[in-house]
Structure 1
Amino acid sequence: GVGRFGPYVKWGETFISIPKGEDPLSVNQQSAEEIINERKIADAPIATYKGEPVTKGTGRFGPFIKYQSIFVNVPKKYDFENLSQSDINELIDAKLEKEANRYIQQWEKEKISIENGRWGPFIKFGKGMFKIPKNKKDEKYTAEELKEISLDEVKKWITAQDKTAFAEKKKPAVKKVAAKKPAAKKSPAKKK
């Protein structure tokens, strides 16, 4: 069949894309089985981490390994085709540590968090990201100071950068439908 992402082979409940360069019209039973077997081999676990299987793949952002629901990018310094168990452990440990240190403070109910970012801490509110202002000494806050900041203070910082951040969203006004006027009667056509 042909789907959103191009031609595919359906195997049970799984849809497997036909590789680029292969003519979809020339796929027969034998070549379809080869495509399915290649996919089975590609999806097979390459190692285990703490008793859980680890698989590898190539995605939009390059090669990755997958552990549970965590995707770990594999940098170019590693040989992706020949990853050792120690390489896999190192990559997954680094990713888990990074995720554990991501949040400085979090208020899930309000969808507000103070997070560590690439260029320092920032505030995340919904999908928006906001800068953390400097303290009274005109210096950047430390992580320890940010852990002590109250939710009200963080809301003030967000409001200073976006006045409408906490504004109540107005519901669209219901439009009144104008009463229909009866159609004007047309004068009958004149006979010649």
Structure 2
Amino acid sequence: MTEAQHPNKIFKFCPSCGSTQLRQSGDRSKNCLHCGFHYFFNTSAAVAAIIFDPEGRIMLARRAVEPHKGQLDFPGGFVDPNETAEDALAREIQEELGTKVNKMDYFCSFPNTYPFAGMEVMTLDLAFLVELETISDLTPMDDIASIEFHHPSEVNMDELPAQSMKNILKKLNERI
């Protein structure tokens, strides 16, 4: 995979009129000198589920797709337009694990940079403590290759590629 670049380096044409007169306007925006369109590179929202089994281990998913194929991650994903973080997490759990959420409580959030299509997508990853309808007979689906359970203090941080997930796990370990 090629190294991801900040969106400021990738956006060369105005998304509104197609002009090449798109110029940098501050650290996180571009302005079109032709039509006046002003585009801000805002943060995308993403959600992550912290799920415990009866032995106190947390569920981690082995990624089935790039970026970071084969590495560990918390179940979750991006929040769709017009969707709450809670609805997004319930949807992601259904898509990835084939079960429903009984209960979820907000835990914490951390910023992250997610490499996708050669671009750095700036995210805010919101973590929730989640209780599932069932934790047995889960089927990894969508972008999950497998499901693993680890004691939080024993997770190999090198297997978590996202800094936000490492920070979530560190905060979780501080609370246990």
- TM-score if structure 1 supplies the norm length? 0.24
Greater Rg over alpha carbons, structure: 1
Relative to its length, the structure with more strand (as a share) is 2
Give the TM-score normalised by structure 2: 0.26
